[in-house]
Amino acid sequence: MSSTGRWGLSLVFVILSLSVSQCALFKKQNTLQSLKPKEVAKLQEAYDPVTAKPSPGAKEEMSPERREALGDLLLERREYDGSLVHYMELLKENPERADIRYKVGVILLLNGQTQAARQELNAVLAAKPQMLDAREALGLTYLEEKQYPQAIRTFQEVLSQDGTRVKTRHLLGIAYLAQDNPREAIRVMERATPQSSKNVALLATLGQAYLRVKDYNQALVYLKKGQSLAPDDKKINLNLGMALAGLKRYPEAFDAFLKAGDEAQAYNNIGVHYYLDGRYEEAAKCFQKALELRPTFYEEAKTNLQRAMEKMQESGKEPSGKEPI
């Protein structure tokens, strides 16, 4: 069963707004696709189909406006390598373009090059210290590197200038969770809920935070809202199962675990909660069921079954034929 002890940053999806093109940049694990020459030519023709093609052997000159538009178009298509080439060419011609340098910094961040991204973003902020998108992205570089105090300080700087930024509050909450400070995470994120009642990621993180403080009823409030918006989200259903199991609503918890994974995982997960509740016979039966469903490689269930059987032997209790769920 997945531990709730630490928050996996890879589960968070972050959309960074671009001030000029208003493109959507997606989470880091999106695969970067190299742009093929034929695709470049096709996009250029789509952008300006009336421009006459250069004669063979001639070098085509591209205006800065057209290069930026093409870079933005590739960025919208999540062709990050291709857009980066155009943005870097623009910066060669005009290094003072803070808006372009910001986009370069974000692309580098998405590509996992956090130090290079931070260098670009610091250059942006040196020229435009009021650019909150750039400061927020700077905080993300620290978050990705697990430098949580620096991330928290940077996100706080953003919120000190604009306390209404939902995304920044969410990121700050994630940083507090990573520092094992769920109560502070709850405090900062709940201030964003009135204007973000349909933000699935925020609702899921709030549910996670309330699980950490063992307030299962309040965790259910946020997780059920999230589930209503994203019924098939595995993370939400897993945490929902944990909250229901914490309230000893085991059949409902099992159903949630089923939506979060396969049947073997669901039996193992519910077995762990039976075990923690001292119900070793039910736990053993769940672990046994998990092994029957996945006999060859489910080592976690095998280890858990052995522990449950040892506890049953210590208590002198004989197994019954009653089903656990």
Q: Which domains does the chain have, with CATH numbers?
A: 1-37+67-171 (1.25.40.10), 262-325 (1.25.40)
How far is Cα of residue 143 from the mean position of the Cα atoms in its chain? Answer: 12
Residue 59 confidence (pLDDT): 54
Walk along the chain (325 residues) and give the pLDDT tens digit of each residue: 433 333 333 322 232 333 333 333 333 333 334 445 554 454 444 444 444 444 555 456 789 999 999 999 999 999 999 999 999 999 999 999 999 999 999 999 999 999 999 999 999 999 999 999 999 999 999 999 999 999 999 999 999 999 999 999 999 999 999 999 999 999 999 999 887 889 999 999 999 999 999 999 999 999 999 999 999 999 999 999 999 999 999 999 999 999 998 999 999 999 999 999 999 999 999 999 998 888 865 677 678 777 777 777 776 665 555 566 6
Cβ(216)–Cβ(246) under 8 Å?
yes
DSSP string, 3-62: -SSS--GGG----EEPTTT--EE--TTSPP-PPPHHHHHHHHHHH-TTSPPPPTTPPPP-
Q: Which residues sit opposite 17 in a β-bridge? A: 24
- DSSP category for residue 321: S
Query: In degrees rounded to 5, what are phi and psi of residue 24?
Result: -105, 125
- Paired strand residues for 24: 17
Alpha-carbon separation of residue 82 from 72, 86, 102, 189, 221 (angstroms): 10, 7, 16, 36, 43
Which residues make beta-bridge pairs with 16? 25
